[in-house]
Amino acid sequence: MRKWHNHNSSALKRKLLIFDFDDTIASTECKVIIRYPDGSSEKMSTEDFKNHQKKEANEYDFSEFEKVINPKVNDDIVSIIRHAIDARSYRDEIIVLTARQSASRPAVKTFLSSLGLNVPSSIELVTLDDSRAQAKADWVEKKIKAGITEILFMDDSRANVEAVRYLFKRYPQVIIDAREVSHAEEAF
């Protein structure tokens, strides 16, 4: 009886493997266009934009992120995803969770498919249309409330990783492994 019980409880575990897209799976040349109140503008990389102090007076244009411009693949992360696809059980979920807007779905889906990562047959693509770290943590929290018991979260943003790690304080029964990864361009 004990053996069956142990097998049954492990069979109920639900794992969630989450991978960020930009600067985690691949780096791109997509830029944020910032228009300032004085009429000037500039294009900013995702790396620079992470450190930018957002101001209400500025207008932020993320339209370049509707495309995947000159992607450079982080082979290490793609290898981890492929391994996860091959090793997963029917209860595991593999997600690409991106701050990009929903208009980017076709381009990101096509790019992932070109790597052999087919959406939705092997992985799910979730677009948040929100670059706040809390947006990713909120999405992960909903999955915890839906019964996820183990989480692997990989993202290049320290703020995103810390926001997801903080969930462990609220849900100590959930195994949360949140890792900050190197940028794709550093993998070459």
Residues in the chain, how many?
188
Q: Is residue 170 pLDDT above 80, yes or no?
A: yes
Rounded to whole angstroms, the Cα distance separating 77 from 73 reads 8
Q: pTM (2 decimals)?
A: 0.86
> Is pLDDT above 70 for 186?
no
CB atoms under 10 Å from CB of 121, counted, come to: 9
* Contact of 21 with 119, CB cutoff 8 Å: no
Backbone angles phi, psi at 180, to 5 degrees: -85, 125
* Tokens representing residue 139 in the block: 């999405």
Average pLDDT, the chain: 89
- Residue 35: phi and psi, rounded to 5, are -110, 125
Residue 94 has pLDDT above 90, yes or no: yes
Task: Please write the tens of the pLDDT for every residue from 2-58.
Answer: 443 444 444 457 899 999 999 999 999 999 999 999 999 999 998 888 888 889 999
pLDDT band per the 50, 70, 90 thresholds, residue 90: confident
Q: Is the pLDDT of residue 93 over 70?
A: yes
- Give the per-residue pLDDT at 89: 77
Give the E-state strand segments of 67-140 in sequence order.
72-73, 93-98, 124-127
Report the share of the chain in percent with pLDDT over 70: 90
Structure confidence at residue 12 (pLDDT): 59
CA distance 21 to 166: 21
69 pLDDT band, cuts 50/70/90, is: very high
For residue 183, what pLDDT is reported?
A: 57
